[in-house]
Amino acid sequence: MELITARTSAIALLLLLSLAVLCNEGVHGRHHHHTKHTKHNSAHNHPPAHAPGPRHGPPRPRPYSPPAPPPSSAPAPAPGPDDDGADNVTVYDVVKDFGAVGDGVADDTDAIKTAWDTACQDAGSGVVLAAAGHTFLVRTTVFTGPCQGSVAIQVDGTIVAPGDPDTWPASSKRNWLVFYQAHGVALRGMGMIDGKGHKWWDLPCKPHKGGGSSHGGLCDSPVAMRFFMSNNVSVHGLKVQNSPEFHFRFDQCRGVAVSDLSITSPADSPNTDGIHVENTQDVHITNTLVSNGDDCVSIGAGTRNVHIENVTCGPGGHGISIGSLGKAGSRACVANITVRDAVIRRSDNGVRIKTWQGGSGSVSAVAFQNVRMDAVRNPIIIDQYYCLSHSCENSTTAVLVSGVTYAGIRGTYDVRSPPIHFGCSDAVPCTNITLADVELLPAEGQRVDDPFCWNVYGNATTPTVPPMDCLIEGVPRHGAEDDTSLKCY
């Protein structure tokens, strides 16, 4: 993303907690008729009627539960004695079992939240179903774990956010749907999650509306789907569109699998990163399309072991980005990031690493392999002078960028910028940057700029197009090896 950096996790947690409290307050006295859950048997409805679950023991109406209700408050669904275990999955259908209306107008927040809480308290496998043919209006909500068993949320219908910023609680403007400590949760389906971001993008405080920056919080806008402190989570198959801000944010997670998503928002929608990851390890993002107004995938501080494969970015957007890192003297460590078999179309950047002056830590072991560029403005870029104001001070420290390989980067670039730009720090040069099989041609017109290099050490192991004459061979005389501020691991 361009404009908002990560808050500290402490602040994030505080926000979340206040958000959770607010959610609960918001629904007291207005929960609707869970009592009318009656038994029903419907052909398309898993599981078979003998399965344990709400059909045998429909949740009683009860006070809206706190985010982590004690298990004893669970409406203990007794497994049927004839349960042969052939299908142990209990379906929690938000319409049939929890009274959701699904017309896109009525507020279905309580229904889906209660379905989650009920599934979460079941020790078996549960599927919260938002069925096809319905549109569920859902307000800002925290789905809290850990759960007793495993829970999937199957969205085959459409989930929409309230579109009007004025109706959002002031204290939870930074998140829409949050999964908190929801270890093992799977979010999947053939449906759509629509953040209804248009009115947020048009707020006068947004930078592109002349409103300066969104640092002050005045212009905070919700991330559509946030996974916070949740391990082994997966997101598969959904369409997600028009988030007010990032579409997905994973922070402080271990084990993230994202696949077969389609993420779209307009090219001029501000800060609508597709998938943002920070302080998170072991991430796989595959077979996904992102067309949006900011980074396709953005990787923030504290992230390791990310594999991105077969992702298509654009048209529009800012490409795949590591950073920004090291803002306001902060320490950032990012390592072991692979991007392969990607396509980047008509984006401002292709594969980018961006750091602020003045930080510490390092970015290391990064590989960009087999990336096709289609009329991209800065296909290959390292920018260690990232700066949003016009007055960033020169600094004697920086986040080290080392061990980056570009292999098989081919296609076309927009001639308004050089196809390759390595702007490395005066204080801490980039080292061990290697290129092989790089071939970038003008999308139209003539090549105007040669590759740009500043303080970059490395090697092209095959001839490149355009020729890469500006790399410094070898290693800097004063290596970073002894500088402990740059050491991460």
Query: Could you list the residues that contact ligand NAG (CB under 6 A)?
Result: 85, 88, 124, 183, 231-232, 254-255, 287-289, 305-307, 310, 312, 336, 338, 365, 393-394, 403, 405, 426, 432, 459, 461, 473-474
Q: For ligand NAG, which is the closer residue by CB, 32 or 55? A: 55
Q: Residue 142 — φ and ψ, nearest 5°?
A: -110, 120
Calpha distance 59→162 (Å, rounded)? 27
Q: For ligand NAG, which is the closer residue by CB, 107 or 341? A: 341
Q: For ligand NAG, which is the closer residue by CB, 9 or 459? A: 459
Q: What's at 362, amino acid-wise? A: S
Catalytic site residue from 294, 295, 348, 383: 294
Q: For ligand NAG, which is the closer residue by CB, 18 or 394? A: 394
Burial class (CB in 10 A: 0-12, 13-18, 19+), 123: middle
Check if 390 is active-site.
no
Q: For ligand NAG, which is the closer residue by CB, 244 or 300? A: 300
Q: Which two tokens stand for residue 48?
A: 């078979």
The nearest distance, CB 463 to ligand NAG, in angstroms, is 10
Q: Which two tokens stand for residue 439?
A: 């071939």
Check if 318 is active-site.
yes
The nearest distance, CB 115 to ligand NAG, in angstroms, is 19
List, in sequence order, every beta strand (DSSP E) within 301-359: 303-313, 320-325, 331-345, 349-355
The nearest distance, CB 458 to ligand NAG, in angstroms, is 8
Calpha distance 94→111 (Å, rounded)? 6
Calpha distance 113→111 (Å, rounded)? 5
Identify the three-state secondary structure at position 31. coil
Q: For ligand NAG, which is the closer residue by CB, 155 or 233? A: 233
Q: Which two tokens stand for residue 204?
A: 């006068």
In this structure, are strands 349-355 and 378-383 parallel, antiparallel, or unpaired? parallel
Greatest CA separation for the chain:
76
269: number of Cβ within 10 Å: 25
Catalytic site residue from 37, 134, 318, 421: 318
The nearest distance, CB 101 to ligand NAG, in angstroms, is 32
190: number of Cβ within 10 Å: 12
Please report which helix (H) or strand (E) contains residue 9, including its range: helix 9-27
Q: For ligand NAG, which is the closer residue by CB, 175 or 230? A: 230
Helices H, strands E: what count in the chain? 3, 30
Calpha distance 471→314 (Å, rounded)? 30
Active centre residues (catalytic): 294, 318
